[in-house]
């Protein structure tokens, strides 16, 4: 595509958020008689699905302890369900299998799922949890489980395929997608905060409205926009805590056991739900019986033809390097620093065997020669920030919750065209200073 000189709406990032926003923006502009896809330009320094959306495990769930997250996820699942084929979406369901310290939290999730009409089953008590799981998988053997939340909706989607599906929907409505153009800065008006043009390594593009959907690169764009590197947060104690870094990186640990995906069928031969297990039972090595963990730990997994086996992950770890020095590029499997190693394979395969007998002794099939894992950029409270900055810059910073959030772009488009969305309101930047924080759960994961 020739380098455009102007775009009414310029979206940075061709991942799940940038493309979902582009598609819905085109549709909503057209519906209102205010224009259409020709007014929307997406630019990406790499290509479509070059970022986190292209390597995501692809899990789609509602299971969140925070009411605002749950309501938002229910809306997102509706968008996934609107065209499963185009989004390569597999609605197999999702299970949160938990130990006693998480029981009460998950019980409230179930209650609120009932309140919003989100179909799920909740099983309580060690004995009943075991028999429910054995009813699905005859070889279930995980210890320390006292509740099971079985979401009948949700499941997973194939990462790259779904992002290409979104790109097609946007392009079909006339949206232009320019790849290989990297944003290096912004130009501002003489007497205003607003961005008048986006500077790229291929030229300057004037624009009326910017949307930022750059996933793990948000710290770089945030710095270019000269937004605050630190924030003040009003805590539950009513005091303002100053100097909290706005961004920090976590490294996500995922991998694939290269066995036949059909190894993980349910007792009746059907496709299994995505499994997420947290437990406080000790984890021992499936290789030599040594103790791996006595702390609470968790894993998730699903059979996935796209990855060629049983794919999943475990808890991420905090990257201690100062945020401006973290090498985000090369990203994902190409990174020399942020891919998983032997320790992950040992832990995750042992944990699979802890859960189901069929995985005992299978570590030899782990795909060591396929690098996996990747960085996520997190906000101070690990929940998304969806907000306007500098008058005409809309930032979609999902704090790494976001592949499942295919519906956020629809709501962002609504905010750009029609006004405020109640579902996005709890995710404003001002919540830090106002102390309007989301409740935190007992999960060992930063995104539950």
Ligand X SMILES: Cc1cc2nc3c(=O)[nH]c(=O)nc-3n(C[C@H](O)[C@H](O)[C@H](O)COP(=O)(O)OP(=O)(O)OC[C@H]3O[C@@H](n4cnc5c(N)ncnc54)[C@H](O)[C@@H]3O)c2cc1C
The residues binding ligand X (CB under 6 A) are 12-18, 43-46, 50-53, 55-59, 182-183, 213-217, 252, 254, 373-374, 376, 398, 400-404
For ligand X, the closer of residues 106 and 183 by Cβ is 183
Q: Provide the minimum distance between the beta carbon of 184 and ligand X in the complex, in angstroms, as a whole number.
A: 7
Smallest distance, ligand X to C-beta of residue 13, A: 3
Given the complex with ligand X, which of 296 and 406 has the nearer CB atom? 406
Report the run of H or E that residue 94 belongs to, with start and end: strand 94-98
Specify the residue, 123 or 166, whose C-beta has the smaller distance to ligand X.
166
From the CB of 45, what's the least distance to ligand X, in Å? 4
Whether residue 215 contacts residue 52, with contact meaning beta carbons closer than 8 Å, is answered with: yes
Sheet hosting strand 297-304, strand order edge to edge: 120-124, 147-151, 94-98, 274-279, 297-304, 309-318, 248-257, 374-378
How long is the chain? 448
Cα distances from 290 to residues 190, 235, 284, 293, 299, in angstroms, run: 65, 41, 5, 9, 19
Please report where in the chains the tokens 């059907």 appear, as a residue: 270
- Cβ 159 to ligand X shortest distance, Å: 8
Cα 240 to Cα 243: distance, rounded to the nearest angstrom: 10
* DSSP-derived 3-state class of residue 114: helix
Which residue, 215 or 272, has its beta carbon nearer to ligand X? 215
What is the nearest approach in angstroms of ligand X to the Cβ of residue 127?
31
Closer residue to ligand X (CB): 214 or 231: 214
Cβ distance to ligand X smaller for residue 55 or 97: 55
**Full DSSP string of 332-361:** GGG-SSSS--HHHHHHHHHHHHHHBGGGTT
Chain mean position to CA 260: 26
Q: How far is the CB of 258 from ligand X (least distance, A)?
A: 18
């Amino acid at each position: 595509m020739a380098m455009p000189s102007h775009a009414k709406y310029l979206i940075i990032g061709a991942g799940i958020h940038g493309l979902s926003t582009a598609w819905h923006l085109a549709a909503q502009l057209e519906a209102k008689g205010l224009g259409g896809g020709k007014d929307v330009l997406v630019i990406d320094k790499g290509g479509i699905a070059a970022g986190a959306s292209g390597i995501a495990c692809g899990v789609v769930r509602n299971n969140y302890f925070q009411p605002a997250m749950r309501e938002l996820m229910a809306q997102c699942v509706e968008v996934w369900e609107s065209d499963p084929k185009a989004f390569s979406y597999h609605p197999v369901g999702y299970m949160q299998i938990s130990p006693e310290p998480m029981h009460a939290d998950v019980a409230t999730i179930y209650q609120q799922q009932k309140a919003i009409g989100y179909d799920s089953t909740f099983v309580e008590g060690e004995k009943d949890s075991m028999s429910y799981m054995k009813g699905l998988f005859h070889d279930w053997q995980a210890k320390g489980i006292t509740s099971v939340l079985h979401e009948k909706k949700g499941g997973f989607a194939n990462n790259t395929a779904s992002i290409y599906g979104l790109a097609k929907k946007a392009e079909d409505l006339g949206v232009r997608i320019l790849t290989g153009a990297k944003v290096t800065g912004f130009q501002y008006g003489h007497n205003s905060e607003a961005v008048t043009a986006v500077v790229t390594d291929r030229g300057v593009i004037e624009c009326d409205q910017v949307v930022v959907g750059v996933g793990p690169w948000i710290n770089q764009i945030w710095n270019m926009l000269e937004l605050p590197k630190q924030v003040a947060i009003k805590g539950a104690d009513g005091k303002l805590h100053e100097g909290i870094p706005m961004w920090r990186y976590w490294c996500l640990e995922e991998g694939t056991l290269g066995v036949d995906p059909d190894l993980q069928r349910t007792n009746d031969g059907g496709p299994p739900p995505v499994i997420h297990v947290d437990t406080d039972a000790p984890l021992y090595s499936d290789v030599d019986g040594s103790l791996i963990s006595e702390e609470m730990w968790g894993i998730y997994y699903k059979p996935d033809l796209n990855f060629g086996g049983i794919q999943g992950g475990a808890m991420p770890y905090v990257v201690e390097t100062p945020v401006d020095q973290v090498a985000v590029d090369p990203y994902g499997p190409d990174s020399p620093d942020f891919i998983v190693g032997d320790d992950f394979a040992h832990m995750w395969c042992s944990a699979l065997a802890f859960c189901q007998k069929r995985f005992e002794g299978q570590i030899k099939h782990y795909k060591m020669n396929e690098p996996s894992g990747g960085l996520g950029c997190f906000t101070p409270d690990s929940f998304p920030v969806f907000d306007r900055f500098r008058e005409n810059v809309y930032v979609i910073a999902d704090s790494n919750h976001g592949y499942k959030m295919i519906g956020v772009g629809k709501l962002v488009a609504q905010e750009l065209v029609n006004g405020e969305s109640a579902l996005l309101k709890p995710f404003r930047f001002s919540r830090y200073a106002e102390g309007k924080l989301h409740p935190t759960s007992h999960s060992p994961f930063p995104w539950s």
